[in-house]
C-alpha cells in the first residue's frame, strides 16, 4: 500500500487532485514497473533487502517520474518476503564469534576464516552462510526469500488503487455512493465494512446506496489503525459496478483540510464470506449448545425507507422462527442510537443488537413494544445471553411448540371436516341415485300394465 507522500497529487483552491495519466505517462510507468519486476525476480533467494534496493536504484528514472518510481518501488517491496535469519539468534551468534576472535588475538593466532569455520561447526551451520547470518537481524540484511511476481500492467493498476487508499488514510469523513447489478456484491461490501470495524451508516438511494464513513482523522485515538482499515475497504468499493467517493481530508505537512472527489466503474474481485473473529466465536458457541437455535452468516439487508439500513451479521433459526444479530462493538454510540431510531420507526424484524459496555448504553433504551433488543456485553459476548434475547424478540421455544400443536390440531380438524363432508356428499349421491332408480322402475311398471 502507498503512503500519502507517494501520491502524485496537488491541492488547488481547497481541492485535492490526484494527477491523471497524460500522454505516454502510463506507458513510462509500465516500463519502469517491468524493469523493477525483472530485478526483484532475479534477486529472490539471492540477495538481501539492501542489495535489492541498490539494484532497483540503478534503474534510470527521469526527474518527472521519480515520485511514480518511488511508489512502484514501494509496491515491489510489498510483494517481497524477507527472512530475518535462521534458528540461531544473530545476537548470540555475534557474541560467540567476537568472543572467539578476541581469544584468538590474545593467543596471537587470529585467522578470520578459521574463527567463522569453528563457530559454524559448533553451531552446525553452513560455513558459507554464517557471515550472512551475523547481522541478519538488521533490516537491510534481511534475505529476500520469495517474491510474488505480477505483470507490469497489474503493478501500475495497483499503483492507481494505492493512491486512493493513501488519500483515505488522511480522511476525516468519507461518503461512498455505490451501485451494483448483483445484490451479492452489496452484501459482500457491507460485510467488509463490518469486518474492518468501521463507523458507518447506510442509506438506500434510487440507484444504489450511500455510505457515510467516519475517517481516521475524526477519531480521538487509533487513527493509524483505523485509517488502514478504511483503506483496506477501498478495493471492495471499487468492485461495485459504479462508485464515487467524496471525502474531506487533512493533507500535506500542515494537515490542512481539502476536498477530494473520485468516481469510476467497477474492477471485479471475488466475493468472500468473512465476519470478525468475535462474531465467528458467537456462531461457534451457539452451534455447540442445545438451545434449538442454529445460526449462519446473514445475507439480509434490512431497510426502512427514509430512515436507514441495517446489515445483520448473523441469522438464527429455530423451527419457523427467525431472528437476527448485529454486533455493533465499541466504536460509536451514534451507531446504537441509529439502530434504536430504526426500530422505533417501524422496522418489524426480530433482531438483537450487541453493544460493548464501553459505549455506556442501557439495554432499556429499546422498549418492549418493538421486536428488537439490546445486549450490552463486557469483554466477550455470552452465547447464553444472546439466546435469551433471541427468545425475547422471537418468542420462547414452548410458544413455538404450542403454535405448532395448534397448527397440527387445526389441520386435523380441517381434515376431519373434509372427511365428514365427503361422506355426507357420497351418501347424498347414493340416496339421489336410489330415488331415481326407484322412480324409473315405477314408471316402467306403470307403462307395462294393460288398461
Tens-digit pLDDT profile for residues 35-55: 999 999 999 988 889 999 999
Predicted local distance difference test score (pLDDT) of residue 246? 96
Q: What pLDDT shows up at residue 395?
A: 81
b or e along 152-173 (b: 16 or more beta carbons within 10 Å of the residue's beta carbon)? beebbebbbbbbbbbbbbbbee
Q: How far apart are CA 207 and CA 303, in angstroms?
A: 15
Instruction: Please report which confidence band the pLDDT of residue 403 belongs to, taking 50, 70 and 90 as the band edges.
Output: very low
What is the structure's pLDDT at 402? 43
Q: Say yes or no to pLDDT of 404 above 70.
A: no
pLDDT of res. 62: 92
Minimum mean pLDDT among 205-214, 301-310, 341-350, 426-435: which range? 426-435
pLDDT at 448: 53
Residue-level pLDDT at 451: 47
pLDDT at 124: 82
In the predicted structure, residue 396 carries a pLDDT above the cut 80: no
Q: Where are the beta strands (DSSP E) in 215-268?
A: 242-251, 256-265
- Tens of pLDDT, residue by residue over 84-120, are 766 677 888 888 889 989 988 988 888 888 888 888 8
Separation CA 221–CA 6 (nearest Å):
24
Output the pLDDT for position 406.
Answer: 43
Categorize the per-residue pLDDT at 211 as very low, low, confident or very high, splitting at 50, 70 and 90. Answer: very high
Q: What crossing angle do the helices spanning 25-43 and 49-56 adopt, rounded to 10°?
A: 150
Sequence-distant (≥ 6) Cβ neighbours of residue 366 within 8 angstroms: 340, 343, 353, 372, 373, 374
Q: Which three cell numbers stand for residue 200?
A: 458507518
Q: Which of 300, 336, 335 is nearest to 315 (CA)?
A: 300
Judged against a pLDDT cut of 90, whether residue 16 lies above it is answered with yes
Q: What is the DSSP string of 413-447?
A: HHHHHHHHHHHHHHHHHHHHHHHHHHHHHHHHHHH
Q: Which three cell numbers stand for residue 192?
A: 467488509
Q: Report whether 163 contacts 94 (CB < 8 A).
A: no
The average confidence (pLDDT) of the chain is 85
Q: Which pLDDT score is estimated for 55?
A: 96
Nine cell digits for residue 304: 426502512
Question: How much is the average pLDDT of 369-392?
Answer: 93
pLDDT band at 170 (very low <50, low <70, confident <90, very high): very high
In this structure, what C-alpha cell is assigned to residue 186? Answer: 452489496
Residue 132 has pLDDT above 50, yes or no: yes
Q: Is the pLDDT of residue 428 over 80?
A: no
As a whole-number percent, the residues of the chain with pLDDT over 90 amount to 48
More confident residue, 296 or 424: 296
Q: Which residue has the higher pLDDT, 86 or 300?
A: 300
Mean pLDDT of 260-282: 85
| Confidence at 6, pLDDT banded by 50, 70, 90 | very high
Tens digits of residue pLDDT in 52-93: 999 999 999 999 999 999 999 999 999 999 887 666 778 888
Reported pTM: 0.68
* DSSP per position, 284-336: HHHHHS-SS-EEEE----EEETTTEEE--SEEEEETTEEEEEEEEETS-HHHH
98 versus 399: which is more confidently predicted? 98
Mean pLDDT of 140-162: 92
Amino acid at each position: 500500500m502507498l503512503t500519502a507522500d507517494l501520491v502524485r497529487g496537488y491541492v488547488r483552491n481547497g481541492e485535492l487532485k490526484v494527477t491523471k495519466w497524460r500522454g505516454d505517462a502510463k506507458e513510462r510507468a509500465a516500463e519502469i514497473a517491468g524493469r523493477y519486476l525483472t530485478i526483484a525476480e532475479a534477486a529472490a533467494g539471492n540477495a538481501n533487502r539492501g542489495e535489492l534496493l541498490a539494484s532497483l536504484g540503478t534503474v534510470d528514472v527521469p526527474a518527472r517520474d521519480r515520485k511514480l518510481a518511488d511508489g512502484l518501488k514501494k509496491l515491489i517491496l510489498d510483494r517481497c518476503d524477507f527472512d530475518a535469519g535462521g534458528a540461531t539468534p544473530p545476537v548470540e551468534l555475534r557474541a560467540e564469534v567476537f568472543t572467539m576472535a578476541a581469544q584468538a588475538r590474545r593467543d596471537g593466532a587470529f585467522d578470520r576464516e578459521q574463527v567463522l569455520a569453528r563457530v559454524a561447526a559448533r553451531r552446525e551451520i553452513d560455513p558459507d552462510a554464517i557471515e550472512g547470518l551475523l547481522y541478519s537481524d538488521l533490516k537491510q540484511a534481511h534475505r529476500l526469500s520469495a517474491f510474488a511476481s505480477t505483470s507490469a500492467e497489474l503493478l501500475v493498476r495497483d499503483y492507481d488503487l494505492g493512491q486512493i487508499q493513501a488519500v483515505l488514510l488522511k480522511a476525516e469523513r468519507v461518503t461512498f455512493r455505490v451501485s451494483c447489478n448483483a445484490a451479492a456484491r452489496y452484501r459482500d461490501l457491507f460485510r467488509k465494512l463490518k469486518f474492518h470495524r468501521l463507523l458507518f451508516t447506510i442509506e438506500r438511494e434510487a440507484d444504489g446506496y450511500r455510505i457515510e464513513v467516519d475517517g481516521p482523522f475524526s477519531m480521538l485515538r487509533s487513527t493509524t489503525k483505523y485509517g488502514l482499515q478504511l483503506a483496506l475497504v477501498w478495493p471492495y468499493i471499487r468492485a461495485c459496478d459504479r462508485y464515487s467517493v467524496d471525502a474531506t481530508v487533512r493533507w500535506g505537512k500542515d494537515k490542512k483540510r481539502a476536498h477530494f472527489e473520485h468516481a469510476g466503474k467497477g474492477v471485479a474481485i471475488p466475493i468472500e464470506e468473512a465476519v470478525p473473529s468475535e462474531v465467528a466465536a458467537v456462531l461457534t458457541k451457539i452451534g455447540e449448545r442445545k438451545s434449538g437455535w442454529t445460526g449462519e452468516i446473514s445475507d439480509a439487508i434490512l431497510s426502512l425507507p427514509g430512515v436507514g439500513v441495517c446489515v445483520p451479521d448473523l441469522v438464527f433459526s429455530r423451527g419457523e422462527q427467525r431472528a437476527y444479530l448485529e454486533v455493533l462493538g465499541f466504536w460509536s454510540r451514534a451507531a446504537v442510537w441509529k439502530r434504536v431510531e430504526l426500530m422505533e420507526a417501524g422496522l418489524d424484524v426480530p433482531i438483537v443488537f450487541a453493544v460493548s459496555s464501553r459505549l455506556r448504553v442501557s439495554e432499556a433504551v429499546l422498549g418492549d413494544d418493538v421486536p428488537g433488543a439490546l445486549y450490552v456485553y463486557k469483554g466477550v459476548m455470552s452465547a447464553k445471553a444472546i439466546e435469551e434475547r433471541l427468545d425475547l424478540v422471537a418468542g420462547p421455544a414452548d410458544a413455538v411448540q404450542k403454535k405448532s400443536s395448534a397448527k397440527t390440531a387445526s389441520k386435523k380438524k380441517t381434515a376431519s371436516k373434509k372427511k365428514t363432508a365427503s361422506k355426507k356428499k357420497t351418501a347424498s349421491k347414493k340416496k339421489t341415485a336410489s330415488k331415481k332408480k326407484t322412480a324409473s322402475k315405477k314408471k316402467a311398471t306403470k307403462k307395462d300394465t294393460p288398461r
